[in-house]
Amino acid sequence: MKKKVISVLMASAMSLSLLAGCGDTAPAATESNDSTATETPAADSNSDSDSAEAPAASGDVTEISVYRCTFNLANPDSAQVQKVQDAINAYIADKIPVKIKLTDIGSGEYTDKANLALANNEINLLWTASWEGTIGTNDLYPANAVYDLTDLVPGTPLYSSMAEGQWEAAKYDGKIYFVPVYKDNVEGYDFMFRQDLVDKHNWDINSVKELKDLEPMLADAKADGLKYPFLTQKTAMFYRWYIDKFDFFTADSATNFFAVDRAKDEVVDTIQTPEYLEFCKLIADWADKGYISEDDFTKVTTDTTTQTQDWAISWWTDIPVNDEADARYGQDVTMVPATQRWAHSTSALGSCYCVTANSTPEQAKACVDFLGLLYTDSTLADMYTFGIEGEDFTYDANHQVTQTSDKYNHSMWESANATIVTPLDNEPANKAELYNDFNGGANTSSAAGFRFDKAPVEAQYTACAGVFDTYGFALENGGVAPADVESTLEKYQAALDEAGYQDVLAEFQKQYDDWKASK
């Protein structure tokens, strides 16, 4: 494989400039002293482009524009999304005075299309996540793009749908701007294996404790002629594999050059750590041996590549019922823990909703009413997640869900409350209990509750994220030859410093020290 540093050009700067004009109700982001709860993720649009500033209303009914991402289908079917929208509206008509206008976008285009719609004030209720690019929680809040729900949510069915600790963990500056999806709200990662290959080669997967232990299995996969022996899913992987060592509290893989060293309880430059050098050298060596395809660092792979037979081993975010992956990927896969599970400042926001700042008070209340029903009514939650019964899914004899559609297909984790969405037919019937136990069994990070305010160094922070696109992504996905890793790391750090990295690092350390002193 020809090796070279690939500069991945992204539109984040343009997207952020669009975001900046989206709202005006949230204050500039500041650090929060809230404690994280013990807890642990071409598209068709079926809706018209009417602005969300003035939605259609009939009598006391308020229409809200809902944008969500789909990860299970490359391209949602607009006609089927329309049918699901209509079915939802018919079901909720006599329950809440709300009507939804549903837009479902494939994950490959979600950030760009939702960002544009957000800038054009076409959204009231937006699905997002702490890890999502350009429209993630750490982008929306400082851009004043989210509605303050602090006084609107308490006392509602929505607020009562989950423990108060979940709300505390999701707060920014002591206020509620985001509504968590109650799911696996702690963070940890697994090695994921195709079970048919485990059986074929008799792999002892339980002996795998760290990345380097995978190498004999990757050799087998390459000998089988697989295109992706190790599939990174075009993701910067240092963030995931080293979570036991570092709390990457920005929740952004593009800025994983900042972290809290868990042992030292202080902010560090991860690029300068032995762990980062070790990781980059290993990945470079694997790419050189043909275990990692250039498709990952050139971003040719898609979110549906895991549904093919072209890979052998990848990664998985640990959840209480890992068998969910079988349905998502259409094949039998098996997980082995790669890290411990951690509760930290952004773990509750791995999947969430926000009301956009351009929404009127009536629209904001309608959004809260809709989410309240979605999080407490199993029929609505199943419809919103799985689609139309008899077309997109069926219930089996145990009243568990079998998904059958290639037109509308979502997962619980990006839809609604795990205790309300009906378990899939390959999941335990006591799924709700398992989620509660899972969230309660995690480690709590020393940095839990801290949120970095990048406003004082925002220009430098954004510039550093751009440097990551040029160097970090390729280093972490096999885009650099083994012999060039150390020299590329030097160039990476030099480019970061030129972009203002040391200013940002100092600001991180100052804010973290101040936060610790105030506890």
Instruction: Decide if 478 contacts 235 (C-beta within 8 A).
Output: no
Tens digits of residue pLDDT in 6-15:
333 233 333 3
Residue 482 three-state SS:
helix
Q: Which residues pair with 335 in a beta bridge?
A: 192
Q: What is the homologous superfamily of the domain 16-184+347-440 according to CATH?
A: Periplasmic binding protein-like II (3.40.190.10)
* Stretch 311-340: mean pLDDT: 93
Q: Is the pLDDT of residue 96 over 70?
A: yes
* pLDDT, position 72: 92
Query: How many CB atoms sit inside 10 A of residue 242's CB?
Result: 21
Distance, CA of 504 to CA of 250 (rounded, Å): 12
Mean of the per-residue pLDDT values for the chain?
87
Higher confidence at residue 207 or residue 342?
A: 207
Query: How many CB atoms sit inside 10 A of residue 508's CB?
Result: 24
* Percent of the chain topping pLDDT 90: 68
Higher confidence at residue 495 or residue 138?
A: 495
**405-416 burial by CB neighbour count: b if 16+ within 10 A, else e?**
bebbbbbbbbbb
Q: What residue ranges do the domains of the chain occupy?
A: 16-184+347-440
Q: Which of 166-180, 190-204, 321-335 has the highest mean pLDDT?
A: 190-204
* Stretch 170-180: mean pLDDT: 89
Q: Which is nearest to 110 in space by CA: 84, 135, 79, 144? A: 135
Q: Which is nearest to 306 in space by CA: 282, 335, 284? A: 335
Tens digits of residue pLDDT in 468-502:
999 999 999 999 999 999 999 999 999 999 999 99
Tens digits of residue pLDDT in 218-264:
999 999 999 999 999 998 889 889 999 999 876 677 888 989 999 99
* Percent of the chain topping pLDDT 70: 88
* pLDDT, position 250: 67
Q: Where in 277-373 does DSSP place strands (E)?
A: 311-317, 333-337, 342-343, 352-355
Q: Is the pLDDT of residue 445 over 90?
A: no
pLDDT band for 83, please (50, 70, 90 cuts): very high
Of the chain, the end-to-end C-alpha distance in Å amounts to 51
* Stretch 316-334: mean pLDDT: 91
Residue 202 three-state SS:
coil
Predicted TM-score (pTM) of the model is 0.65
Higher confidence at residue 212 or residue 19?
A: 212
* Stretch 285-305: mean pLDDT: 94
Distance, CA of 329 to CA of 68 (rounded, Å): 20
